[in-house]
Each structure stands twice: as C-alpha cells, then as structure tokens.
Amino acid sequence: MLPENIKNKNIDLKEIQSLSVDDKLYYLDEMMLIDNVDDYCNFICSLIEDEDKGVRNASAMVITSKKPREAPLKLAPFISSNKIHLRNLVGEVLIKVGEDVIDPLTEYSIGKNDDDQKFIIDIFGMIGNENAVSHILSVLSSNENDNVILACIEALGNIRYEDSVDILLLLYGRNELYVPSVVEALGKIGSQKALNFLIEKFPQEDDLIKYSILESLGAMGDVETFFFLLEKVAEIHGPLVWPLITSLFLLKEKFDLDIPFDDRMKNLLMYTLQEGNPEHKKIALSLINVFNDKDILMTSLKFLGEDYELDEIIKSKMYRNTDYLFDEFPRIVGRKPENLLNILNLFLSVAEYTINELPEQSFQLVQKRNIVYAVSDCLNYHDEEVRRAAMELLFLLDTESALLFIDAMIVDENLWNRLRLLEILDNIYSPDVTGFIEKFSNDPEEMVKERAAEILSSKTNNNIHPI
C-alpha cells in the first residue's frame, strides 16, 4: 500500500530525501504493479537523481515502463545538469519513453545553450520520429554551432526524412566538417536524388569522403550502383577496399546478383581478411560461399579466435571444404601459429564430424599420415591445452599411430592431461594398453595413480580380450 504523502498533491521533497533506500525501493517496486502512476509522477521523477544507484535505476525503470504523462516535463531540467551520469541516465530514459517527449523537450529547449540543444537533438534522432523534424529544421536554420548542426544532420538521417535531402545537399558544400555526416545521413534516407549526387561526387573527393560514400552506397544503392562499384574494383586500394567489398555484398544480397571472381577480386578479399576489422572479415568470408577459393579459406584460419561470430563463419566454411583443410592442415600446424589451439580444436571438431557422419569423405591414407606426423610435434608444445588437443586428435585419427607417441603423453607435466590420457586408454579395448596404464603406477600425483589402479582393476575384472 502506497502512502498518501508521496502523491503529487501531497508530496514534500524534504520528506522524500529523508526516506531510507529500502523504503524508496519498496515504493518504486509497488508502482510497477499499478497500471497508472500519474499521481506519483513527482515522487518517481525526483528519485532519478537519488544518491543511491539502485534507486536511480528503479526510478528509470518505472518511468520507462509506466510512462507517467508528466514525466518528460519533470525530467527535462536534468538535461542541463552538470552531473554527466545523471544527464546520460535521463537521456536514456527519455529515448525509451519515445515520441511523447518531443513536445515537452521542444518547449524546454527554448533559450537553452548549445550543449543542451545538441543533447535534445540527439535524443530526437535516437527516437526517430518525424514529429521532431520541424524543431530540428528550426534549430538547423538558426544555430551556427558546428556540433549542433552535426547533431541535426545525424538526426535527420536517423529519422530518414526524405524532404530534408535538398537541405543536406546544401550543407555538403557549406563546410567540409559536415560532409561525412551528410553522406551518412543521405545513405540512411536513401532517395534517388541523394544516390545520384553521391555517385557524381565520388571521383572528386578525398579518400576519407570516398570511404563514407562507399559505405552509404551499400544501404541506398540500386542495381546500377552495383555495377558502378564493380567498375571500381580495378581502381581501389588500401582501406577503401573494405567498404567497397561490404557494399558489393549488400547489393548482391539485396538484388540477387553475381559478383565475378577474378584475381583482382581475390586480392581484395585477401587484403580484407588480413587488414580489415572483424566486421569486414565476416563480409569477406561470406563471399567465400560464392567463390570457394582455397587460398582465401586457408588465410581465414589466421583469424580463428579473434571474434566469436567470425569463428562460426570460418567453421561453417571448413565443414563444407574438408579436403582443403585436410590437405593444408599439416603445413599450418607446422608453422605453430599463435592461435594453434583454436586451429587444433576446429580440426578436431571437423574430423569427428567427418569420421562419424561422412565416412565416405574421410581421410586418405597419405593425408592421415601427414596429419599424424604434424600433430605429434605438438605433444611437447609449451601450452598444456595444445598438448591435450593434440593427444585427443591423434587417438581420434589412428589409435595405433597414437600409441607410438604415448611415452611423450605419459610424462606430460599437466595433471589433467595425464588424467585425460587415462580416460582415453580406458576406452581402448585392447590388451596392449594395459602396459601403458601400468606406467602410471609411479606417477607423482596420487589422483593419477588411483585412477590408473581403478582402470586396471576394471579391465582385469572384465577379462578384456583383443578386439
């Protein structure tokens, strides 16, 4: 039950400040159970600046969930706060409340300084509702502050207000500072006039602006844009390759087009894989579905472990191109790359799948021999996880060959590796393994000796015979 003294008509802010944190949280929790909290708006909004973070967050939750009618008006003054954390929290809340904040914030912005104007415009841009456009255009026409103007440009792009294209084109030529933001906004709006303008401007601009234009063309382009970008494949070098590849991929997917694969395109993809950020690499790898190139596939293994989504793309490619992986794996492992563990684990997964699900596509004799030899060299690697993965892979591929290297495995300095070896040996139904298990009777770790004794006892009791 909520007390009467926290209702709007009875509220005393001094009394609120004297409440305990537990009481404040209790009242806010109770309000989450009420359909309409308009009568408690002053109380709720006053707690947005409480000293306790939990209370502030609870207040924000009630406001965004229940959206009391007067909340935007009550929260607006906090936009001018010198407390950055409070200002940012209020901004997040107002964005979540949505279009209902537009009129109150427009009214509040009258006569405010440039920082407050920019903050309000940023909020409108994040909300993305056309009801804010008239205010944004008014500020844009009357304010000379570059940061405010940039905020207006970005907001118009986020709102995707097509009628602002002519204004944005004027701003393009007004100040070079505005150009990247104008290009991005035009890309989001996506009108034919904006598209034609950017393609016309592309040859004249420096690389920084070209980069922005190439990024935008992927979102706003048409079929003609796709062929325009293909023409640039032979001309573009360096970081401009990344947005070019990305936009080609987006337009290919959008219009179901084919990207011709030649040495130049291959080089662009290789460069993107080697120099691009994870997002660019994902795009390049996605194009491998089309090109299926061995060099690109093998190069992608260098980046295994950098990014989870990138890893999943690489894995899916390797599952579909096992022959490439099986042929190149010994050379890759032999170089001992920094991500050796990631590569071993990937290969272990692919090998298990191939052996169990696709036996007809399994290893050729020469492939298996080369792989076993390369992996055995990892048994003395400095990383215990690499040694463990190598051990498991050897036994998966060929038990008989794995047993040739068992002396190195038995003396592995890692306790858990030796225990894992015992588990593997326990599942080999051959009398030959008994002698190897007996070697653990002198292990320095009691846990290992006890486990070896258990396995030996079990095998003796079950009277195991050769397969």
DSSP letters, 89-106, are: HHHHHHHHH-GGGHHHHH
Residue 451: predicted pLDDT: 93
pTM equals 0.75
Residue 94 lies in a domain: no
CA distance 328 to 313: 19
pLDDT(121) > 50: yes
Residue 33 lies in a domain: yes
Number of domain units in the chain: 2
The answer for residues whose C-beta is within 8 angstroms of residue 314's C-beta and 6 or more apart is 285, 300, 301, 303, 304, 346
Residue 291: predicted pLDDT: 61
Residue 444 lies in a domain: yes
Residue 458: predicted pLDDT: 84
Angle at 56 between CA 55 and CA 57, to 5 degrees: 90
CA atoms lying within 13 Å on the CB side of residue 283: 23
Domain of 422, in residue numbers: 414-467
Residue 1: predicted pLDDT: 65
C-alpha pair distances (Å), 336 with each of 313, 333, 378, 405, 411: 22, 5, 9, 19, 22
CA distance 358 to 85: 57
pLDDT mean over 38-55: 93
pLDDT mean over 230-240: 93
Residue 283 lies in a domain: no
Q: Pick from 70, 104, 121: which residue ends a domain?
A: 70
- DSSP-derived 3-state class of residue 263: helix
Residue 183: predicted pLDDT: 96
Q: What is the DSSP letter of 440?
A: G
Angle at 364 between CA 363 and CA 367, to 5 degrees: 85
**If phi over 0 gives left and psi between -120 and 50 gives alpha, with beta otherwise, what is residue 190?**
left
Residue 262: predicted pLDDT: 85
Residue 230 lies in a domain: no
Residue 9: predicted pLDDT: 66
Question: Which band of pLDDT confidence, cut at 50, 70 and 90, is reported for residue 404?
Answer: very high
Q: Which of 64-78, 147-161, 358-372, 391-405 has the lowest mean pLDDT?
A: 358-372
CA distance 244 to 112: 42
Question: Which band of pLDDT confidence, cut at 50, 70 and 90, is reported for residue 419?
Answer: very high
Residue 1 lies in a domain: yes
Q: Pick from 16, 48, 70: which residue ends a domain?
A: 70
Handedness of CA 440, 441, 446, 451 (dihedral sign): positive
Residue 358 lies in a domain: no
Written as six digits, the tokens of 74 are 């009550």
Instruction: For 37, list phi and psi in degrees, rounded to 5.
Output: -110, 20
Nearest CA among 293, 275, 297 for reference residue 343: 297
pLDDT(248) > 90: yes
Residue 55 lies in a domain: yes
pLDDT mean over 357-378: 89
Q: Pick from 23, 47, 70: which residue ends a domain?
A: 70
pLDDT mean over 140-166: 96
Residue 10: predicted pLDDT: 64
Contact 156, 133 (CB under 8 A): yes
Percent of the chain with pLDDT over 70: 96
Written as six digits, the tokens of 220 are 């706003």
CA distance 28 to 32: 7
pLDDT mean over 118-138: 97
pLDDT mean over 423-433: 88
